Amino acid sequence: MSKNLPVPHPPESPSPDQGKEGSRASRWLAGLKRGGQLGPSPYPRQSDVRHEPGVPTGVPASTNPSVLRNLIGESLSSVVFVMDYLQLDFNGTRLSSYVWPKSVIGSTVRSFGEDGYRDQLCAFIDHEVCDTDETVERGLEVRFDLGAIVIDPALEDLTGPEIAVLHVYAPPGEISPWSVWRPGEDIFDRPGW
């Protein structure tokens, strides 16, 4: 029987009177860099469980296709810059990235902080997703006819226990499929992490 799991939230940001060292995200990252354990998580490991319509909870990921594929055929409807993360909305389905993705259009690759980064991300609005990919080599890729949005952080880009979370829209009363990607798990299980 499926059950509703708590909705993941972005890492806490430090309060104005709290230095960077004091935030939950910075303490987590410092522990990870020292080789510490991630600690318990309220969410199942992505490799253990994926929540798909019609697929019982607990089905191993190897027998269950990526939830990211739900984006294929959807148009990007908004790009939301939250204080320290990004939300990409696909008409109700939301991909939250807790690391800044790269934006690729033609041969132009833009990263957070570069001139034109926000404009290039917003250029994908109203474009349809034609493909997605999840690989160790390239991270998460959402491809459009115009280019791609790529979530593939380096260790120093990590700010908290999650890299990205996808919540797929489901009508009221239905269970919404979702997936979470974390450092040290699945496609982000990399040497040195």
pLDDT band at 193 (very low <50, low <70, confident <90, very high): confident
d(CA 48, CA 62): 9
| Closest CA relative to residue 101, chosen from 90, 88, 83, 91 | 88
pTM higher than the cut 0.85: no
| Residue 176 vs residues 54, 94, 113, 173, 186: alpha-carbon distances, Å | 11, 11, 33, 9, 22
- The single-letter code of the amino acid at 39 is G
Percentages helix, strand, coil for the chain, rounded to the nearest 5? 15, 25, 55
Would you say 79 and 72 are in contact if contact means Cβ atoms under 8 Å apart? no
> Is the torsion defined by CA of 134, 135, 139, 143 positive or negative?
negative
Strand, helix or coil for residue 110: strand
Tens of pLDDT, residues 122-145? 999 999 999 999 999 999 999 999
Say how many C-beta atoms besides its own lie within 10 A of residue 49's C-beta. Answer: 18
Tens of pLDDT, residues 23-56? 444 454 555 555 454 444 444 444 444 444 443 3
